[in-house]
Structure 1
């Protein structure tokens, strides 16, 4: 495999191999193995790894009951139900059965395999760990059932299964990785399994700094959130009881206890040679949160072929035949005739309008300006900022030719403030809907609906409270479809924003009312007049959004940065290719 950025060839049969660990991975629309952005990013990363021929295998949990299916009643009250799926019909069983120790008892686990196939035919195996084995205690058989379910004990047990069980399972397969990539802190305990391998049966109490350094040399960690609740923490009582006294004592000696809690982010930080945030701004925020660690930044991306609508794929195939193999080629979208851009977007918008009618019975119009806002319903994302001055929003719709606003997003079952945000939006929608203004909240936000929204709306709205947006990727998906963003300057948008070229920035203020005013002024004085009165200029913005943001904010570019900066920094072609470092001693 030869990467366009000038790296040495990496062959999957060489000893330079990557093991990618993630609690959730969005593999396919019909498999509920993800909750949102983290899982979608993981899936897109692996799809690009397959396209690029990287020597990589991934590890996650089976999640037999999925995340949850969201139902919203007429008042916006969210209820949840499991999403059970038959993994036996989707995945292939692997033979090895390995054991890990939880609360001084052995728990057996196996795995199911799914192969992601890239454009070149290269396969990336994904191993779904599963504890539903007859020899296990009934409670242990359910450990891999629910994504982000249960209490703190359940979560810690799951993270032991993922991190420590995942390493044990790869060992049983004979998969010798030289790089272990932790996608968020849920997988941090893989470092503990590597340390136990390094000690070769000797007690952890006898571990030296040289042993820790040997583990560190093989580990890469990506942190994804500046929100404190996003960093998993467990009480010392839980850790002592579930992990065991010796393991906890070792972690405590190595700086993994913070504010009296076992902090998985500190576990990953302490045993990684490369750490990164997921956008330039997030790298800065992470360095301020963890000043004692060297934290870099690699901005997220999306898998271009997955999130480009069928109509735009056809256009790209005609004008840039190798865009799937080389996403940078999307830069040449700047030469696509504007009429073709308009036609492709019209087709995607019609699909969205049809889907809304089928799901809700609401008949929207394709000639009316449509705003999309869809993401996890967390309070810091401020779904209701657009309704700060409802009368002004209504007036804006009536004076400028009409406005349609589409919302979607799930709140975590335990997130009552997030659920309240959904109720608030739906309550306002009932009051404000009129002939000129239509507001629709679409339930059960997932892969298929997300693709319809990012492909079919006219502008993508994002209103997080700075600096809590680590990156965000939905606006990147929209960009591939010629949909510009209107967003607070946070996360990836600081890098993607060119005013009036790829979208528009909502001014950042301490006062939410001032931010809402900036949002309204953009709608009233820029976006709606452009859309309704200067369609040619609007088409140019759509085209430049694809060429500038679609060509950069993709997982192919992102993975190339991981390869050269994190995975194999010693294998640049500017220096003689070194012999691959041997796998961790076992």
Structure 2
């Protein structure tokens, strides 16, 4: 039975959901970006729907990192210890072998009533019983050291499996959200002793076509690390997942799971194409990512939407813009104007997401900002990976441009709280990744829930949602897989054209059309892109598949 509520019998299959990160609420800083935002909304909907599901994750001592500024306002990475007295100690400690050494792993419980989520067991090695090196395994989310990253997967997968055993919790399905927790499959093999039995209990969500998100490591290194637990080496070799000496996590997950899913219709198609040349992989379906309406949507906007009060939506949006602009002024000293069209680009900073695409023709970009009659304001926010020098360089390049204009700003501290403020205060949510590179993306969903219109190409989830000039502004995209420079040049032209000829004139000259589009965007976002639908689909498509 569940730890938290009487179970809805429609969701009685017992599921353990393994994820390296969860974005549950602002005070719990154990996430980096979209993967965490997705798992956080999943846990909230599982709680609301009384599903028999428990989360397993990691208690990161320093979180991801704290994004701050140097004296010259460029981005700085800070690490500070986090304390969470609201976590409960259920008295569960297990041992996991990592690089030939037994390491103690302690579980802490995030109770459902704390933030309104399914129960989540968070694992820590930062214990007095461990030596210093072992303690550091759970210090930093996505630690850049390869051996530490491998150890993190072992702790999450095998340690998480052992914690559930120690709790005497019966689990029908082990769901690994991205392949970080892959070693839980080897823990299951230790119990069942054959791959066919493991397959009955394992499902897998793949989140990205990006190489960095499809992890692989030297097979001999993984063997020395005890990554494969107690599974005999001949049975690991039988999986046939070693390519050029590298053990491929995603391929292994696809061969050990009974079923997998991509995170949008397009990503499901991309994933099937990525892996079509490999035999013995499980079926790859798709379950489109979604976000939790109750958590993300502004209550006053929701009420105005349900009452069909477009005028109050307009009034409330201006109030929300003012609230956001006060936070911006506190951080940057710039006071933006709530009467000016406000565009936000905000998500994890990564090269393929192209945060600086709108600046590609700098003179044209400045003309957008400085137009006397129809100006725009642009806000950026987002965290790069702390060692991603390309993305940090883009952040700092954008910063330099904001210093010459009082209509553009870049913010630090992009976490749940700031994310919500930006989505509520934006007029337009800009999304311009290189086409097919964004598996799903979810930030635009929560923007739509707050009467913000998406300006996007048809990548990821937007392909299932976007209707140009009905619920969003849809820009053309260049043909993928050509020269990246040419692709970016072409896409920048498409972006300028739609801004100059469509988005800006509509905002300033046709507020009735703008209001109609907002209403349609909210009509279309709430039924399908609410994580309650997603949590239901996971049971129907993945957990109960073949049962």
Match for residue 295 of structure 1? 284
The structural deviation recorded for 1:388 is 1.6
In the alignment, the residues of structure 1 paired with residue 319 and residue 355 of structure 2 have an alpha-carbon distance, to the nearest angstrom, of: 27
Aligned equivalent of 1:278, options 248, 263, 277: 263
The CA deviation at 1:142 is 2.1
Which of the numbers 425, 438, 463 marks the counterpart of 1:469? 438
Change (3 A) 1:403 1:69: same
Determine the C-alpha separation between the residues in 1 that align with 2:227 and 2:38: 33
What secondary structure sits across from 2:112 in the alignment? strand
2:251 is the alignment partner of 1:266: yes
- Is the alpha carbon distance of 1:78 and 1:251 closer, same or farther for their aligned partners in structure 2, counting shifts above 3 Å? farther
Of 378, 385, 391 in structure 2, the residue corresponding to residue 412 of structure 1 is 385
- Contact 1:47 1:117 (C-alpha < 8 Å) held by counterparts: no
Distance 1:34 1:336 in 2: 36
Q: Does 1:367 align with 2:339?
A: yes
Q: Deviations over 1:172-224 (max 9, x none)?
A: 0011110111000101111000000113xxxxxxxxxxx21111011110000
Q: CA separation of 1:495/1:135 partners in 2, compared to 1, >3 Å: closer, same or farther?
A: same
Residue 576 of structure 1 corresponds to: none
Query: In the alignment, which of 195, 203, 215 is matched to residue 212 of structure 1?
Result: 195
> What are the ranges of 5 or more consecutive residues in structure 2 without an aligned counterpart?
2-6, 480-486
Q: Determine helix, strand or coil for the equivalent of 2:474.
A: strand
Equivalences for residues 183-202 of structure 1 within 5 A: 183-199=177-193
Match of residue 213, structure 2, among 201, 206, 230: 230
For the pair 1:381 / 2:377, whether they are aligned, the reply is no
Q: Structure 1's 379 and 453: CA in aligned 2 closer, same or farther, altered over 3 A?
A: same
Supply the distance in 1 between the matched residues of 2:63 and 2:415 (Cα, whole angstroms): 12
Once the 2 structures are TM-superposed, how far is the Cα of residue 259 of structure 1 from its aligned partner? 3.2
Q: How does 1:470-489 map to 2 (within 5 A)?
A: 470-489=439-458
Q: In the alignment, what sits opposite 2:9?
A: 10
Contact 1:131 1:144 in 2 (8 A): yes
For 1:311, the equivalent position in structure 2 comes to 300
- Pick aligned residue for 2:401 from 405, 411, 428: 428
1:92 is the counterpart of 2:97:
no
Whether the 8 Å CA contact 1:78–1:419 is kept in 2: the answer is yes
Q: Could you say what the CA RMSD is over the residues aligned between the two structures, in angstroms?
A: 2.1
What SS does the corresponding residue of 1:364 show, helix, strand or coil? coil
Q: Is the contact between residue 68 and residue 412 of structure 2 (CA under 8 Å) also seen in structure 1? A: yes
Gap change, CA 1:416 and 1:191, over 3 Å in 2: same
Residue 364 (structure 2) aligned to one of 392, 398, 412:
392
The alignment status of 1:174 with 2:168, answered yes or no, reads: yes
Are 1:256 and 2:231 counterparts?
no
Distance in 2, Cα, partners of 1:98 & 1:306: 34
Q: Is the 8 A contact 2:183 2:227 kept in 1?
A: no
Other-structure match for 2:129: 135
- State the Cα distance separating 1:517 from its structure 2 match: 1.4
**Change in CA separation of 1:396 and 1:65 when aligned onto 2, cut-off 3 Å:** closer
Structure 1: 5+ residue stretches without partners = 2-7, 200-210, 320-334, 571-580, 582-586
Provide the residue aligned with 1:203 in structure 2.
Answer: none
CA change 1:252–1:310 in 2 (3 A) is same
CA distance in 2, matches of 1:448, 1:362: 20
Q: In 2, are the aligned partners of 1:70 and 1:444 still within 8 Å (CA)?
A: yes
How far is the alpha carbon of 1:514 from its aligned partner?
2.0
1:543 has 2:519 as partner: yes
1-structure distance, mates of 2:320, 2:186: 48
Distance 2:325 2:167 in 1: 48
Aligned pair 1:500/2:481, yes or no?
no
**Which segment drifts farther, 224-233 or 389-398?**
389-398
TM-score (norm 2): 0.92
Secondary structure of the corresponding residue to residue 438 of structure 2: coil
Distance 1:487 1:478 in 2: 12
Q: Name the TM-score, length of structure 1 as normaliser.
A: 0.86
Is 1:48 the counterpart of 2:45 in the alignment?
Answer: yes
Tell me the residue number matched to 1:356: 328
CA separation in 2, counterparts of 1:17 and 1:217? 13
Give the CA deviation at 1:92: 0.3
Match of 1:240 among 223, 231, 235: 223
After TM superposition, the structure 1 = structure 2 runs for residues 9-48 of structure 1, keeping only pairs within 5 Å, are: 10=9, 16-48=13-45
Cα distance in structure 2, aligned partners of 1:182 and 1:128: 15
Contact in 2 for aligned 1:400/1:529 (Cα 8 Å): no
SS in 2 for 1:370: strand
Q: 1:323 corresponds to which residue?
A: none
Asked whether the equivalents of residues 50 and 117 of structure 1 are also in contact (C-alpha less than 8 Å), the reply is no
The SS at the match of 1:128 is: strand
Where does residue 317 of structure 2 map in the other structure? 345
Cα separation, partners in 2 of 1:74 and 1:141, compared to 1, 3 Å = closer
1:453 counterpart (404, 411, 422): 422
Secondary structure at the counterpart of residue 265 of structure 1: helix
Q: How does 1:556-567 map to 2 (within 5 A)?
A: 556-567=532-543
1:83 correspondence with 2:80: yes
Contact 2:154–2:227 (Cα < 8 Å) also in 1 = no
CA contact (8 A) 1:311 1:348 kept: no
Q: Which has the higher contact order (CA 8 A, sep 6+)?
A: 1
Compared with structure 1, are the counterparts of its residues 26 and 261 closer, same or farther at alpha carbon in structure 2 (3 Å cutoff)? same
